[in-house]
């Protein structure tokens, strides 16, 4: 192959490689660019000046270097089998640096283009922020002229000299707007496809992301909780170890205090809700999940009057993984009803407690530590704090929230449920029960004349009571203005009868105790709301301010389900019933709908929801066929083939209808001429746009039989005479002759 002399092509290829390396650095927070970019630049320059030499010694050294890089790659691969993407990227960068010293031909430049593209793809899979987006746009802006230069090189097109500088400037000035138009068109088309592309559940392959293995001591019991925001008396900031008694001696007693500004106070075996203050927003983790959910951390069963504690904190169970697997199996609560497997991957970006956030009903955890612990309330504990850079994956068997079934759940609770989730301090029990029954009685009086529906089940009572608290009690306008609870006062009593409101978590505490007062088992659960969903990365960005408490209610046979009484929060947390297939398009529509009148928005919402619901269900059903064995695969292929054929047939008919509709609007001579051109185009012998009708008629004798060529010639002659000479052709004779031509052509094909 000939030597490549084009400096612009070489420079653009080098730019693509540099962008691929930079993208990998940004996505993985590595530092390959510090050594790879200078060496690649030196190698590219050296290759250009030595492009016509054999360079045998250099090629020999490059081969040795590639073998060494391959050996290092296999060594690193054995230690990072959990996630090989970054190891592969490093190998590609090393090979590219070596390869840059031997690029005399265009084919060698093509290899570098492919490496740059692969590095960009690896960076896309590693990226968790929009910092990758500018690099992607720069890569696209560089790739377009690179492909043009590469194409010109393949065709052997040399630089064309123009006759004058004025013509040259005009040519260059006309190419620049076209380039920007093409770039804008590609970006716009890509964003449009991205918006309407259905989002199916990922993780079809069971290779889940996870950090490198962590070595821990065997004395891990799981009883203690380490929260960076809690510090014991006389100990350093990094040693806030929480034992069975709590993080500080004040937690259990409910002594007034100040909230930590970075860590949520509820991540502890004992929490004190007599604290005041507010947290400064800080991103803690990013979550990729098949469904939006509440990332559960801990649950509490014992109310202390000013907070909560886990009464059985000593009763934790340890789970070890096998030596040949990173998978840890946890105990599953027994429940009946339909459920769905949901996979979530958590990437920690700031130090957090040794509590493992997970969707409820976690059954498998891919965690870098050799063991985990689980408490009696379902909280998962790690032997180490969750530090920045740690990644783990959880598989949860999430139950569907069927309001009808839960409404029919009985009230015969097991003894263990009654012992731990119905207790209330005796000094407030009667007062709280009376207030709760008054609320239910008011509902009945109001609803008697409007509806026959009654609060006849624990589920409906829980739902109504949570909504009542939202509407009739308020949050303080300034969190610092809320007074502390007195030493002899109770949080729930103060909230209901004195303050008429409180902190967000106080709402959940009050709901839990009010439900217990009327015999409905409930507990307090803390964790993170789903966070801010980024449609471009597909990740939920979770901050410390997303942490809050909710109430979990027990339903026999079906288990625990959460209710959120906090004003401004959804009454029911996100559930797996909510479809996310067209989530990006939905978010774009919500932005557009904000500019439209409410009646128009409501009508369009109803129409779009119906359409996309049908499409999403159809696509989900079709996708699910391929997970039902060979019969499902065969059915899916059959349905897919039939759908593709019917779509093609419908498209052909639509094109024919549009063509006939267009012909009906044309003058008769123009219509006959266009019919002739379409017929010849179907035969693969259509008219080139640059040809005149006379030129086309002349060339038709070279490709068609004499009779067909004569008919084409006559129609072309008549068309030119009609259009440019104003003559009226004999249309009936021409039409008849053209019909006979088509008929004879079909007869010849059949014979």
Three-class SS state of 549? strand
Please indicate, yes or no, whether residues 325 and 413 belong to a single structural domain of this protein: no
DSSP state at residue 704: S
Q: Tell whether 581 and 603 lie within a shared domain.
A: no
Cα dihedral: 345, 127, 85, 206 (round 10): 30
Q: Provide the 8-state DSSP code for 384.
A: S
The answer to whether residues 428 and 492 belong to one domain is: yes
Residue of 277 and 157 predicted with greater confidence: 277
CA atoms of 271 and 273, how far apart (whole Å): 6
In a domain, 363, yes or no: yes
Structure tokens at 602: 């409501």
Tokens 């089998």 belong to 81
Give mean pLDDT, residues 672-681: 88
Determine the pLDDT at residue 580.
Answer: 56
pLDDT, residue 591, reads 61
The answer, yes or no, to whether residue 224 has pLDDT greater than 80, is: yes
pLDDT digits (tens, 9 = 90+) for 447-496: 544 445 678 899 999 999 999 999 889 888 887 778 888 888 899 999 99
Tens digit of pLDDT for each residue in 602-624?
A: 777 778 778 767 777 777 777 77
The pLDDT assigned to 164 comes to: 42
Q: For residue 719, give every residue at least 6 positions away whose Cβ sits within 8 Å of its Cβ, in sequence order, or none.
A: 669, 670, 672, 673, 693, 729
CATH no. for residue 521? 3.10.620.30
Contact at 8 Å (CB) between 352 and 285?
Answer: yes
DSSP 113-178: HHHHHHHHHHHHHH--STTHHHHHHHHHHHHHHHHHHHHHHHHTPPPPPPSSHHHHHHHHHHHHHH
Asked if residue 611 and residue 566 are part of one domain, the reply reads no
CB 391 within 8 A of CB 346: yes
Residue 644 located in a structural domain? no
How high is the pLDDT of residue 444?
A: 65
- Whether the predicted pLDDT of 746 surpasses 80: no
Residue where a domain terminates, one of 595, 625, 655: 625
The whole-angstrom separation of Cα 185 and Cα 172 is 20
- pLDDT beyond 50 at 165: no
Counting the structural domains of the chain, the total is 5
Q: Give one DSSP letter per residue of 471-525, joined into a string.
A: HHSB--SSGGGSPPPPTT--HHHHIIIIISB--HHHHHHHHHHHHHHTT--EEEE
**Residue 342 sits in the same domain as residue 413:** no
3-state DSSP call for residue 381? Answer: strand
CA gyration radius for the chain?
A: 36
Whether 381 and 449 map to the same domain: the answer is: no
Among 378, 405, 432, the domain-final residue is 405
pTM: 0.69
Would residue 330 count as lying in a domain?
Answer: yes
Q: Is the pLDDT of residue 734 over 50?
A: yes
Those residues with Cβ within 8 angstroms of residue 496's Cβ, 6 or more apart along the chain or in another chain: 432, 435, 510
Domain span at 108: 7-159
Q: Are strands 295-300 and 241-242 parallel, antiparallel or unpaired?
A: unpaired
360 and 414 in a common domain? no
Residue ending a domain, among 359, 384, 405, is 405
Residues 522 and 600 in one domain: no
pLDDT tens-digit profile of 376-406?
Answer: 999 999 998 898 889 999 999 989 898 889 9
Direct distance between the N- and C-terminal alpha carbons of the chain, in angstroms, rounded to an integer? 49
- Domain membership of residue 2 (yes or no) is no
Q: Is residue 203 part of a domain?
A: no
Shared domain for 295 and 267, answered yes or no, is yes
Mean pLDDT of 628-653: 85
**Which pLDDT belongs to residue 556?**
92
Residue 174 lies in a domain: no
- Residue 696 DSSP class: H
Residue 231, domain member (yes or no): yes
């Amino acid at each position: 192959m000939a030597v490549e002399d084009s400096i612009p092509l070489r420079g653009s290829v080098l730019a693509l490689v540099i962008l691929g390396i930079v993208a990998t650095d940004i996505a993985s927070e590595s530092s390959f660019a510090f050594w790879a970019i200078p060496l690649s630049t030196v190698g590219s320059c050296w290759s250009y000046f030595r492009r016509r030499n054999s360079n045998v010694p250099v090629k020999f050294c490059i081969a040795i270097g590639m073998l060494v890089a391959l050996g290092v790659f296999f060594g690193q691969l054995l230690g990072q089998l959990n996630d090989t993407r970054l190891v592969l990227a490093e190998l590609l960068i090393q090979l590219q640096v070596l390869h840059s010293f031997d690029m005399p031909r265009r084919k060698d430049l093509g290899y570098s283009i492919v490496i740059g593209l692969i590095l960009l793809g690896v960076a896309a899979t590693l990226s968790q922020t929009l910092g990758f987006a500018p690099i992607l746009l720069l890569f696209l802006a560089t790739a377009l002229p690179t492909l043009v230069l590469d194409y010109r090189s393949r065709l052997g097109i040399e630089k064309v000299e123009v006759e004058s500088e004025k013509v040259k400037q005009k040519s260059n000035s006309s190419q620049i707007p076209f380039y920007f138009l093409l770039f804008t068109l590609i970006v716009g088309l890509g964003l449009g496809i991205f918006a309407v592309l259905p989002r199916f559940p990922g993780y079809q392959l069971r290779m889940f992301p996870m950090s490198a293995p962590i070595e821990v001591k065997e004395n891990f019991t799981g009883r203690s909780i380490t929260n960076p925001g809690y510090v014991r008396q006389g100990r350093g900031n990094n040693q806030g170890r929480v034992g069975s008694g709590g993080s500080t001696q004040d937690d259990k007693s409910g002594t007034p205090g100040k909230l930590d500004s970075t860590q949520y106070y509820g991540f502890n075996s004992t929490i004190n809700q007599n604290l005041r203050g507010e947290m400064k927003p800080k991103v803690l983790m990013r979550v990729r999940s098949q469904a939006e959910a509440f990332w559960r951390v801990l649950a509490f069963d014992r109310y202390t009057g000013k907070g909560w504690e886990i009464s059985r904190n000593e009763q934790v169970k340890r789970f070890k993984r096998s030596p040949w697997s990173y998978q840890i199996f946890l105990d599953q609560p027994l429940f009946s009803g339909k459920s769905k497997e949901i996979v979530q991957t958590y990437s920690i970006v700031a130090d957090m407690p040794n509590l493992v956030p997970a969707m409820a009903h976690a059954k498998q955890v891919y965690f870098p530590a050799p063991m985990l612990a689980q408490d009696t309330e379902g909280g998962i504990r790690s032997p180490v704090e969750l530090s920045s850079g740690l990644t783990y994956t959880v598989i949860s068997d999430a139950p569907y929230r069927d309001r009808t079934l839960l409404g029919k759940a009985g009230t015969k609770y097991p003894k263990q449920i009654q012992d731990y989730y119905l207790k209330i301090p005796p000094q407030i029990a009667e007062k709280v029960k009376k207030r709760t029954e008054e609320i239910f009685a008011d509902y009945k009086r109001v609803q008697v004349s409007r509806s026959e529906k009654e609060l006849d089940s624990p589920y409906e009572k829980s739902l109504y009571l949570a909504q009542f608290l939202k509407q009739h009690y308020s949050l303080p306008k300034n969190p610092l203005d809320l007074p502390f609870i007195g030493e002899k006062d109770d949080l729930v009593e103060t909230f209901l009868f004195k303050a008429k409101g409180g902190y967000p978590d106080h709402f959940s505490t009050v709901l839990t105790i009010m439900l217990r007062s009327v015999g409905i088992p409930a507990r307090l659960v803390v964790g993170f709301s789903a966070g801010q969903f980024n449609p471009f990365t597909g990740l939920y960005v979770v901050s410390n301010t997303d942490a809050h408490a909710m109430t979990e209610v027990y339903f026999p046979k079906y288990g625990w389900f959460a209710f959120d009484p906090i004003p401004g929060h959804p009454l029911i947390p996100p559930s797996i019933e909510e479809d996310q297939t067209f989530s990006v398009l939905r978010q774009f529509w919500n932005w557009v709908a904000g500019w439209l009148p409410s009646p128009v928005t409501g009508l369009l919402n109803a129409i779009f929801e119906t359409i996309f619901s049908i499409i999403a269900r159809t696509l989900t059903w079709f996708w699910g066929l391929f997970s039902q064995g060979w019969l499902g695969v065969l059915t899916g292929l059959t349905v897919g083939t039939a759908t593709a054929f019917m779509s093609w047939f419908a498209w052909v008919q639509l094109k024919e209808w549009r063509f006939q509709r267009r012909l009906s609007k044309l003058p008769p001579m123009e219509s006959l001429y266009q019919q002739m051109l379409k017929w010849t185009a179907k035969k693969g012998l259509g008219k080139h746009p640059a040809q005149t009708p006379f030129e086309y008629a002349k060339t038709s004798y070279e490709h068609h039989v004499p009779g067909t060529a004569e008919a084409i010639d006559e129609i072309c002659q008549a068309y030119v005479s009609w259009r440019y000479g104003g003559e009226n052709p004999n249309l009936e004779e021409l039409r008849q002759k053209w019909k006979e031509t088509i008929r004879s052509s079909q007869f010849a094909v059949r014979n």
